[in-house]
Structures are given as structure tokens and as C-alpha cells.
Structure 1
Amino acid sequence: MSAHIEPVAITQTVLDACEHLDTASLSDALDSLGINGGLPGIVSQVPGTRCVGVAFTVQYEAVDTPTAFKGAANYIDHVPCGAVIVSSNAGRHDCTVWGDIMTHFALANGIKGTVIDGVARDIDTVIRCNYPLFSRGRFMQSAKNRAQLKAVQVPVVIDGVTVRPGDLLVCDGSGCVVIPQQLAAEVVRRAQAVEQTERSIIEAISTGSTLENARSTYRYDQPWLTDAEKVSVGERP
């Protein structure tokens, strides 16, 4: 039996900080805590876009018998402003769970972006709208009589990574990373340190340092350490 995890609200300070952090740094920060938060194979469908927000999860399942249209997208009426929709369609490539109507609704209601374990359609429209959409690919075929809504706001598992309602999602050109809500503040702190370490290394090699020396000087083996922590570690016998 899995342990119950109490939800923790992600602060606006953390959300604002993530607007200035890339997924690579956040992934490195998660690695330092022994957590795998990357979603393999889910990539941006709209170049140049990114999104930051709390997860609103949606779970689909295969239709067992063809039935009348059930309006499986109507859940979106209940997605709060500022959320990132995480839609689990079991990685299916044969039917879509996102298109132009939902894109327009999301933009009109302050939804930050959409992450799909599956495919999306109407991509030309999504690109024109510059809406942050991340999925396994593109395919025009409808989900009608192929997939149906199973549940919302439940944990979903994508390639072994569990996404819980309220977890932090950050997506950019390198992909999508899931940050457990209980660890969001610490992950952000470490990611900021990672980016500072990398800036220091880049500055050093730009002024003539070898890569080996720069990485050694700025402790690239543990880039999530702050400058003070690096000094402390270096002084240990």
C-alpha cells in the first residue's frame, strides 16, 4: 500500500521563480534528491513556448463498447486559472484528446498549458495561438468512440513518473519535468544554484579557463550546492 501524501500548496514565490528556471536545471536538482521527474518522449508542439503551473490531472481509458458521444472534454470547465492540464491517454497514438476548441477555451480561461501522454490535433491552430502544448506527437483522429474520460484529479503515471494533482509542472523546449509539491521550494533553491554554477563555468571558459579547471573550481560534480556549501564541502578533511 502506498503512503498517503498530504497536498501542499505551491507558493506564488516558487511559481514566479520557475518562470526563470529551465527544465534541465530543475531535473538536475531533482537528481540531487534521487527523484526522476522527467517525462520521456513528451515534447513541445509549439516551438518557443513554455509553461509553469500546478497539475490538474485527467485520466482517459479505452472505450469498451461504442456509445453515444459523452463529451469527454467537458472536464475543462472545472480547470482553475493557472493550472497545467496533465492528460493521460496511455500514450496512445491512434486518437487525440486535445484540439482547437480546447485550446481556445484554455487561453480564454488562464490555463497555462497542456501535457498529454498521447497525441493532439489541430496543431496549426495551436501554433497560431502560441499555446504551450506538449505531447508525444500529432494525429488528426478523434477520440470519439475510442477513448473516454475515466477520472480527474487523481494520480496518473507516465513512464513510471507519478503526477499528482497539485504537483508543479515546468515545460520548455527540452521537455516536461514534474516536481512533487512537497519538495517544490527545495528543488527550486537547488535549481537556482545549478544555474549559478553553470553561469560561473561559462564565464570562466569565456575568459580562457579549460573546461576541466572550470568544472573543478565550481564543483560541477555537485552543481546544486550554493557557494557557501561548496566552500564548506571543500574544507572537510
Structure 2
Amino acid sequence: MTTANEPIDLDDLSRTTYSAVFSDVCDAAGFREQTLEPGLRLQAGRSGVLVGWARTAVSRPVTQIPERPYGGEIDFIDSLNPGDVAIVDCSGRPAAAWGELFSTASVGRGARGAVIDGYVRDIDKIDALGRFPVYGRGSRPTDSLGRVSIQERDIPVCVYGHTIHPGDLVICDRDGVTCVPRAFALEIAEKAREKATTENAARELLLQGGYLRDVWEKYRVL
């Protein structure tokens, strides 16, 4: 089991692994429902593999501007730590729950990206940051103020059909998102590195003209 004192090199995982290999390793470990349902896409920021620790929040519908505008959002984003990925459930109402300044503040806190079950805005300005990927259902210019607000954080949240707990390891790329329970993150990460290395060797053999059946027999990956 992983403890808070056992480090994981998130940058190395971003370079050497990807969501599908983590999903395969989770399957082999008996965790067979660890991917988010289709529907999310990279909306803004750099492409590649995003790996980090889940920080969760729920943005619920409201009917008027709160007494403290953006108060829940400010508290949540100001609480982010290096290595965090913001996971926000904003499925209750179709306003934009994430934008440029939220992303900019998150970069300043050392967070690595965001996964929004809802909509995003300020796409070009988030792109200009160059290093903060934001995943969501789509984009919409409608502001969240007086429509939705973050009312809970650091609790289990259900996004894209899967419950993510605070501190889970999330791996996001163009295939989608795989989520690994924190208690097993170190073990799963090590095996994901090993499997990715094996798949690289299998790929080289195939490019050299090797038969798929022989690659399967030798490496047991496809």
C-alpha cells in the first residue's frame, strides 16, 4: 500500500506511461472498473499524458449570486498543492465551471491539470499557459456566477460514471482517464512502467516484421 511518505515521480510517469497501460495493470490486479466513461475531451492546454493526485470538488446549481462571489472556487483552488489534479463535478447545470484565471491560479499552486464533468471557457487563454491541460465535456462562454458554485470539496465525487476519492492517482490522455486507488498507487505505477517497457519491445519486434502471434507468445501484450 502507498503511504504519504512514499514518493511517486509524476513527471516520469507522464513520460513513460499512459492511461491504457494503467487500465490493463488495474485489470490484472482485480480493479476492472477504473476508467471514466467516454464523453470527456481535452478542451484546453497541452496534450500528452497528465498524471497527478485527485483533489475533488462538487459545484452545485444556485439561483442567485452568493454573498461571497466565487467563494467556494477561491477556497478550493487556493488549497491546491503541487502534483494535484482538480476533479470537479459540475454536471448539475450547464455553465462553465472552469476558465483561464482558475487555471492560472492552479498553475501558480503547482497543480498539474483539471478534469471537469461539465463545461470550460477561455480556451485560447488556457492554451496560452502552455502547460495546464483541462478536460471537460465541451466549452461554453456562460459564467458560473449565480448559476453554479463549489459547495463541497475533498469528498468522493462521481464524474463520468466513476467515483473518484481524494488522493487517488489519475492518468489522463487522449484515450480518457484511468483512476487508481491511492492505497495501491505505488504498486500499480511500478507495474505500469514495466508493462509500458514490455510494450515498447513488442512494438519494435512488430516493426521489424515479427508476427503478432509470436509477439503475443513472447510478451503476452497486445
Q: Would you call these one fold, judging by a TM-score over 0.5?
A: yes
Q: Deviations over 1:108-144 (max 9, x none)?
A: 2211111111111000101111221111111111112
Residue equivalent to 2:64:
66
Residue equivalent to 1:230:
none
1:42 to 40, 43, 46: 40
Query: Which runs of no fewer than 5 residues in structure 2 stay unpaired?
Result: none
Residue equivalent to 1:52:
51
Q: Does 1:9 align with 2:4?
A: yes
1:97 is paired with a residue whose SS is: strand
Q: TM-score, normalised by structure 1?
A: 0.81
Q: Give the whole-Å Cα distance in 1 for the aligned partners of 2:80 and 2:213.
A: 48
Kindly indicate whether the alpha-carbon contact (under 8 Å) linking 1:47 and 1:173 is maintained by their aligned counterparts in 2.
no
Residue equivalent to 2:26:
30
Equivalent residues, number: 214
How much has 1:14 moved relative to structure 2? 4.9
Kindly indicate whether the alpha-carbon contact (under 8 Å) linking 2:168 and 2:181 is maintained by their aligned counterparts in 1.
yes
Q: Give the whole-Å Cα distance in 1 for the aligned partners of 2:89 and 2:5.
A: 22
Q: Does 1:21 align with 2:20?
A: no
- Sort the Cα spacing of 1:159 and 1:108 in 2 relative to 1 into closer, same or farther, 3 A: closer
How much has 1:51 moved relative to structure 2? 2.3
Map 1:1-237 → 2, pairs under 5 A:
8-9=3-4, 11-19=6-14, 20-35=16-31, 36-40=33-37, 41-45=39-43, 46-63=45-62, 65-68=63-66, 70-71=69-70, 72-75=72-75, 76-90=77-91, 92=93, 94-130=94-130, 131-220=132-221
Q: TM-score, normalised by structure 2?
A: 0.86
Q: Give the whole-Å Cα distance in 2 for the aligned partners of 1:10 and 1:162.
A: 25
Q: Give the whole-Å Cα distance in 1 for the aligned partners of 2:97 and 2:205.
A: 47
Q: Deviations over 1:80-116 (max 9, x none)?
A: 2221111111275x20111111121112221111111
Kindly indicate whether the alpha-carbon contact (under 8 Å) linking 2:89 and 2:116 is maintained by their aligned counterparts in 1.
yes
Q: Give the whole-Å Cα distance in 1 for the aligned partners of 2:183 and 2:61.
A: 32
1:216 is paired with a residue whose SS is: helix
- Sort the Cα spacing of 1:80 and 1:182 in 2 relative to 1 into closer, same or farther, 3 A: same
How much has 1:27 moved relative to structure 2? 1.2
Of all paired residues, the percent bearing the same amino acid is: 29
Query: Which runs of no fewer than 5 residues in structure 1 stay unpaired?
Result: 1-5, 222-237
Q: Give the whole-Å Cα distance in 1 for the aligned partners of 2:3 and 2:116.
A: 24
1:73 is paired with a residue whose SS is: helix
Larger radius of gyration: 1
Aligned letter for 1:164?
Answer: H
Q: Give the whole-Å Cα distance in 2 for the aligned partners of 1:213 and 1:31.
A: 23
Tell me how large the CA RMSD over aligned residues is: 2.2
Q: Give the whole-Å Cα distance in 2 for the aligned partners of 1:164 and 1:214.
A: 37
Identify the range of structure 1 (153-162 vs 47-56) with the bigger mean alpha-carbon deviation.
47-56
Q: Give the whole-Å Cα distance in 1 for the aligned partners of 2:171 and 2:3.
A: 17
Kindly indicate whether the alpha-carbon contact (under 8 Å) linking 1:169 and 1:176 is maintained by their aligned counterparts in 2.
yes
